[in-house]
Amino acid sequence: MNSSELLEIISTGETSTVQFKESLPNSESLSRELVAMTNSLGGKILFGIQDKTGTPTGLTKEQIEYADKKLAELADNLKPPVYLNTEVIKIDTGSSTQNILVVHISEGINKPYKTANGEIYIKQGSNKRLVTDNAEIMRLFQQSANLLADEMEVFGTSKDDLDERTFSNYFIKEFGVSYSAKGLTFEKALQVKKVLRNGRLTLAGLLFFGIDPQAHKPAFTIKVVSYAGNDMAGITYRSKPKDLKGTILELFEGGMRFLTESLKYLQSGPGFNSPGKLEVSRIALEELLQNALVHRDYFKNAPVRLFIFDNRIEIISPGKLPNSLTVEDVMFGNPVIRNNQIVAFSIHTLPYSGLGTGIKRALAEQPDIELINDIEGEQFIVRIPRPQTAL
């Protein structure tokens, strides 16, 4: 980093990834800041800058040496330890030259990070907040691939909550023969396919083979509604809100049925009786709906939402993109798997086109799709414009 780049950062003020410190704060406060940044997107702490005004005040050589040593000690005492990079940048304020200590903090790969007292913090805007909610802590584990939601056991379930015929048909589809032909009992087959663990169903097992998945996980539905108008706050509906229930396959089929019955069909040829064509690409809708069901964040206790407005279609899945994945990564087919077992079951259950290619295929079929990674709202939004001729 050079002085011009540093001055540009200072001019934009404090954010979730940039913090100003005029001097070294107390150890407890600084430890919390390091933890919050590491548990979030990483960032920079600039020492020698007034917090409120952003005015460079600089540090002496002795202050820099002390701060550098103290930061290393604090980082080593975090759980797990955090690795920092520091550099000193000289900037010209017009009246003097000031030394600014820049501390670079990378996003952690072993979340959640904790203070020496066991506290977990994350960034919220330019501030930080203490995390105590179990579901939020589990999402931090998930971001480091230390905990997979779809492989967790679902309390209160057993193999009696499974549809044996559905699982048996799936097994034959994957292996070409029945599980008994493979020398497996029903229970052993469930175990080797990660459907059953410690006598309980895994979440993936419940969602694909359960008799009534929503009896145990009521939030994992698709909420569908067709609005009259373009405002989500509107109360005039073309079809009233309802929740679709069932296995992931049943949710997919129900969601596609809602879309194809609610959207318009356009005349595809000059003849009056020529077959109509769905106003937007059916292939794109299939890929995007599968993506929402397969790659959503199952640590968030919320439904997938499927909304039709007069001017657009929205598919909203719980959870921002995982780890450092960006919209550009998704568009060019660079996946990060959040739900390994759900993906594995999808290959033999859904019309699954392949890992990382779904959104690419949807964009090829429907280039005007808008993808939004809503980090603050922790959701991924897909918007598809409806052609004006369909209205």
Give the pLDDT confidence of 206-262 residue by residue, as tens digits: 999 999 999 999 999 999 999 999 988 777 888 889 999 999 999 999 999 999 999
pLDDT tens-digit map of 290-333: 999 999 999 888 999 999 999 999 999 999 887 667 888 888 87
pLDDT tens-digit map of 176-205: 999 999 999 999 999 999 999 989 999 999
At residue 329, the pLDDT reads: 82
If phi > 0 it is left, if psi is from -120 to 50 it is alpha, else beta; for residue 199 that is left
At residue 323, the pLDDT reads: 67
Contacts 24+ apart (CB under 8 A), 63-66: 63/23, 63/24, 64/88, 64/99, 64/101, 66/24
The fold of 3-143 is: 3.30.950
CA 204 vs CA 194, 304, 384: distances in Å: 8, 16, 29
Sign of CA dihedral 270, 272, 273, 277: positive
Higher-confidence residue of 93 and 303: namely 303
Residue range(s) occupied by CATH 3.30.950 in the chain: 3-143
Lowest model confidence (mean pLDDT) among 21-30, 198-207, 261-270: 261-270
Which of 3.10.20.600, 3.20.20.450, 3.30.565.60, 3.30.360.10 would CATH assign to domain 222-390? 3.30.565.60
pLDDT tens-digit map of 106-137: 888 788 899 999 999 999 888 899 998 877 88
CA 329 vs CA 295, 335, 336, 340: distances in Å: 14, 7, 9, 19
At residue 272, the pLDDT reads: 56
At residue 389, the pLDDT reads: 61
Average pLDDT for 82-104: 89
Q: What is the mean pLDDT of the chain?
A: 89
Question: CA-to-CA distance for 285 and 257, rounded, in angstroms?
Answer: 11
Residue range(s) occupied by CATH 3.30.565.60 in the chain: 222-390
